[in-house]
Amino acid sequence: MPPAVRIENLTKHYFLESVAVRALRGVTLTVNHGEFVAIMGPSGSGKSTLLNLLGCLDRPTSGRYILGDDDVSRMNDDRLSEIRSRYLGFIFQSYNLLPQYTVVENIEIPLLYQGCRINEKTRSRCIQLADLVGLADRLEHRPMQLSGGQQQRVAIARALVNDPHVILADEPTGNLDSKTSDEIMQMLIRLNAAGKTIIMVTHENDIAAWAKRVIRMRDGVIEADEPNAQPRTAQEVSSAFVSTLNSLMSASMR
């Protein structure tokens, strides 16, 4: 099985007037299935740029990016959209739910763009996912009616709905207090325990401490890449959770 993500000598330059900002200067990285990676580094070190490239929201200036079986470094806009909808899940710092939609409808969005017909089956899948992240009693609520932690749970359910190869999280706890942050991280740990590959950007050591592998960046290159000897101990992940998630993920939607 190929690694989940493989990038080779990736560079990204931004061109401002005549000046080129070299945000990434040759990054090589492999992430295998089932890993939980934290990317750290000072502001301006290129974390977001890297995550945007990994998320197929942007194209590299040079280098290669293999996502699963596909070389996505030279794909056109439409193909990249397709890749995003099939293989990637996003969790943002500011949740980024659509305010007009209910919880269930928000979870449904990636399916719509993936080319699934919305029907009873997809609907019940979304409801089960909401249940999985602990929002079974909030299905018809709008984002405005939810707390930050609850909104981020909706975002997690939404990131899971298309059974992505990789979940990308950009400062997922940046807007949350420490107690809620821990809840969200527990949730991510459980997903990872169930086999999900997670790449997360953070600048907080406390948060990075949950991950199994920590990558440190500086000035657009990887400075350090080492396994986390002692990740923070999570609660026991129930086997019921794992089997529910796995049965949900394996159910074909197409």
Partner 1 sequence: MEKHLLLWDKSRRSFVLALRSLWLHKLRSFLSVLGIIIGTVSVITLMAFGEGNMHDALEDIKRQGATNLIVRSVKPSDDATNQRRTMTLNYGLTYADYDQFLVLDSIVSSVPMRYFPQEIRNLHRMFNGRVVGTTPGYQNVNRIDLVEGRFLMDSDEIDEPGDDNELRNVVVLGSDVAEALFPFQTAVGKSVVLNKHQFVVVGVLKDRSSLTTGGLSEDFNSDVYIPLSTCRGRYGEKIFIRQSGSRSGEQVELHQVTVTISDMSKVRDAGKVITDQLERSHFKKDWSVTVPLDRLEEAERARNRGLVLLFFIAMISLTVGGIGIMNIMLATVTERTREIGIRRALGAKRSDITLQFLIEATVQTSVGGILGTIVGIGLVFVLPWASALLLSMHLPAHLKWQPVALSISVACFVGVVFGLYPAFRASRLDPIEALRHD
Ligand X SMILES: Nc1ncnc2c1ncn2[C@@H]1O[C@H](COP(=O)(O)OP(=O)(O)O)[C@@H](O)[C@H]1O
Percent composition of the chain: helix, strand, coil (DSSP 3-state, to 5): 35, 25, 35
Among 11, 28, 48, 180, binds Mg ion (CB under 5 A): 48
**Number of shown-chain residues binding ligand X (CB under 6 A):** 12
Annotate each residue in 46-75 with x if it binds ligand X (CB under 6 A) or - if it does not, as one string: xxxx--------------------------
The reply on whether position 77 binds partner 1 by CB under 8 A is yes
From the list 14, 71, 177, 205, which residue makes contact with ligand X (rule: CB under 6 A)? 14
Site for partner 1 in 107-126 (CB under 8 A): 109-110, 112-115, 117-118
Q: Which residue, 206, 223, 225, is CA-closest to 215?
A: 225
Structure tokens at 251: 């159910």
Residues 145-164 that bind partner 1 (CB under 8 A): 158, 162
Stretch that binds Mg ion, among 41-49, 53-61, 111-119, 225-233 (CB under 5 A): 41-49
Element (DSSP H or E) covering residue 30:
strand 19-31
Comparing CB distances to ligand X, the nearer of 46 and 164 is 46
Q: Which two tokens stand for residue 249?
A: 């993920």
Give whichever of 161 and 168 is closer to ligand X, judged by the CB atom.
Answer: 168
For residue 217, which of 7, 11, 44, 56 has the smallest C-alpha distance? Answer: 44
**Neighbour count for residue 110 (Cβ, 10 Å):** 22
> With contact defined as beta carbons under 8 Å apart, do 168 and 131 qualify?
no
Stretch that binds ligand X, among 39-47, 72-80, 104-112, 181-189 (CB under 6 A): 39-47
Measure the CA–CA gap between 50 and 48, rounded to whole angstroms.
5
Out of partner 1, ligand X, Mg ion, none, which partner does residue 14 contact, by CB within 5 to 8 A per kind? ligand X
In SS3 terms, 50-106 reads as HHHHHCCCCCCCEEEEEECCEECCCCCHHHHHHHHHHHEEEECCCCCCCCCCCHHHH
The residue type found at 207 is I
- Residue 175 interacts with partner 1 (CB under 8 A)? no
- CA torsion sign for 185, 94, 137, 139 is negative
Judged by beta carbon, residue 56 or residue 161, the one nearer ligand X is 56
Residue 61 touches partner 1, criterion: CB under 8 A: no
Kindly tell me which residue out of 2, 58, 223, 238 binds partner 1, with binding defined by CB under 8 A.
Answer: 58
Task: Give which of partner 1, ligand X, Mg ion, none residue 109 binds (C-beta under 5 to 8 Å, depending on kind).
Answer: partner 1
Residues in the site for ligand X, rule: CB under 6 A? Answer: 14, 16, 21, 23, 41, 43-49
Q: Which residues bind partner 1 (CB under 8 A)?
A: 52, 55, 57-58, 77-78, 81-82, 84-86, 90, 92, 96-98, 100, 109-110, 112-115, 117-118, 158, 162
